[in-house]
A and B are shown apart, each in its own frame.
Chain A
């Protein structure tokens, strides 16, 4: 509790900003969903035959995981609030549509007949009789959608839309920092409850005015949404640098920004915490971001769908560079020194007990070992699948989990070994031991700036600026900087600046 209060007071400013962003995204998505669903639902009550297929289609939208919808939209709409709002609106369609349709359809047929028999025209019957009577049901649908959207908006943070999801993601990334997660989750829940109260109040006070109440509700919502912090406020930068989720990419892009702005006249915008490889790479292809730091190994395995032909860092880099140029017409600048490869890590205590030094040492105790692997690692050839072949291992139990949760699992003793990234800050914090990989199963993962060739052609001066980092930053240094951000709560920008100054790359 005290920890939570501390986090709260430290991050109060950012919290309000995130709440506001969250509210904006949610309300705009809700307004759009309402604007589509209500008229569509009304129209369908006059076209019974096609009603169910159309409602079924919105139900399908609902079944697609929201993250998948977001990923799907990036090639068309890039990253940021626009695709988030589209996905969320699509998500909110079903409850409103179904309730509108059902609400109107379930109006007592005697009332419809009375209205018709008294000489009301179709529209008048709708606005004076059916809509007001169906209003509570429609509002219930809007309220359901609202809760759904406010909840799902947390995921929109993964594509750079902002909102309270930023705090939750940060918390998850820092090994399940409960206080940070709560700082994002509690306001999101409160937001849903408060909005629900407002809608219910609204529903009650305006039960009889039908169309009018709905329209005024939408207008009020739209005004809130297009408030002071609306989209317009952003400055257009020459270059936008994106980054995957986590401290390390955040530190790196701050270095990129500082270097570029030091050496050139270009202005640089940052877009951190963009989720995983697929999302960031789509954003790069689509053009929402111009540069992001990628690992050589990832470029080969995930982006090019190849296997590393060598375990020599330099050759791997060459393979990645050529492949990215050929396949995607992209430039991959010089990599830094540190190798953030996969590693299998265990606690020192366990290492001593079983006398573990390399991965191969696991063999004699394989049945007593419980592993906590990420889904991705578990499935990869240069991950657990490779471990099984190369080291002939068959571990007793493998639990798959979110990357951020592994460190919690190993420190609590739930699992004995985890897959780790060699430079992660928690390696320092938890005092973990990395098991050696004498058979070179894991290819080198060196970070380097990835961008479209056309970006480099337009701003050739970037290359020199960024190549200053080539061969710099050792694994230890990177680990230390990650630790400072994740565990000492320093800002990535500060850490990046300090490093560059110490290296003499920028002036104080």
Chain B
């Protein structure tokens, strides 16, 4: 979908912002770009809609060099969500959302129903909010409109530049959830810049960790956590504020040790002690087996944060819970996994402190 080939950016004063970036963003994936400030993550993203020109190398979208597109039309087809939200303060919510469709000369009627549809999607009542000015909305609502503005003309690609960093923790969490839901519904290709590792791990289908203009590791969240390429990656992942904010999919047990198929269960291959998750032949989640008996239990979503997961443990009184990603059973989470993870993150912290 988006391909960076040997992209380098050198500024006139000689500083190099990016060195030989090679990168592919798959269609429909959410790629999180992360790294310490000055690592080039935002530069990388802004090259996609040509806000920044590479000094060397090429960037292709749909296998066509982005320089061969009309720059304005290219941008109309790339949604852009800014860190500063940057809604136009003199325009109403409706007018803000209409900016790109109007340039693309959408019909009025079509546009109006599109606005209703979009606002419903993120839980903003169109009747109530259409005619409001951005200043009359809360920060969370504003950035929701910011996202809608990027989505309005149904672009193939959406760029998000630390979209939630200006928000309070509660709105941030809510919006992250919204983005996950949206992404599942609309399947856009999203390039998402963040400095928040938890956010990257929770939202990204893949995470691209950068440092000093280079890609250090580009991998799935799980691999990043389980198989960090080097100490830098390990440190960077470890340096999160609290392990309780971590999404469960970096903690869970991906081995099949605690998973049985329905077939296996029905054939009687039952271990009497312990708890196991049960999955169907197509990989969907079925239920759990507790000491040889089938019990119903809710499953955890892979992006649920640890704190919420522990609440489910409390109310369900199982020692192990299944974890699903869109109905598919991807692993299990047990008290043991949690304890080990907490221990590990604690020791990381101690290391950091002793290094200081």
Contacts and interface: CB of A to CB of B under 8 A. Distances in A.
Nearest to A208: B90
A440 interface: no
Query: Taking each of A113, A114, A120, A129, which has the highest tally of chain B beta carbons within 10 Å of its own beta carbon?
Result: A114
B184 to A, nearest CB: 25
Contacts of B73: 119
A132 interface: yes
Nearest to A136: B90
Nearest to A207: B90
B75 A117 contact: yes
A119 B100 contact: yes
Interface residues of B, number: 24
B90 A110 contact: no
Nearest to B74: A119
Contacts of B51: 113, 116-117
Contacts of A133: 88-90
Given A108-B86, A113-B51, A118 B99 contact: yes
A124 interface: yes
B80 A111 contact: no
A128 B78 CA distance: 20
Interface string A102-130: 00000010110111111111001000110
B88 A114 contact: yes
A110 B134 CA distance: 15
B100 A118 contact: yes
Contacts of B83: 110
A119 B90 contact: no
A121 B72 contact: yes
Contact of B75 (A119, A124, A128): A119
Interface of A: 108, 110-111, 113-121, 124, 128-129, 132-133, 207-208
Interface of B: 49, 51, 71-76, 78, 80, 82-86, 88-91, 99-100, 103, 149, 159
29 contacts: A110-B84, A110-B86, A111-B86, A111-B89, A113-B82, A113-B86, A114-B80, A116-B51, A116-B75, A117-B49, A117-B51, A117-B75, A117-B78, A117-B82, A117-B159, A118-B75, A118-B76, A118-B100, A119-B72, A119-B73, A119-B74, A119-B76, A119-B103, A120-B72, A121-B72, A124-B103, A132-B90, A133-B88, A133-B90
Given A110-B83, A118-B75, 18 more contacts: A108-B84, A110-B82, A110-B84, A111-B86, A111-B89, A114-B86, A116-B75, A117-B49, A117-B51, A117-B159, A118-B76, A118-B100, A119-B71, A119-B75, A120-B99, A121-B72, A128-B88, A129-B88
10 interchain residue pairs of minimum CB distance: A119-B75, A110-B84, A114-B86, A117-B80, A110-B86, A119-B72, A119-B76, A208-B90, A132-B90, A111-B86
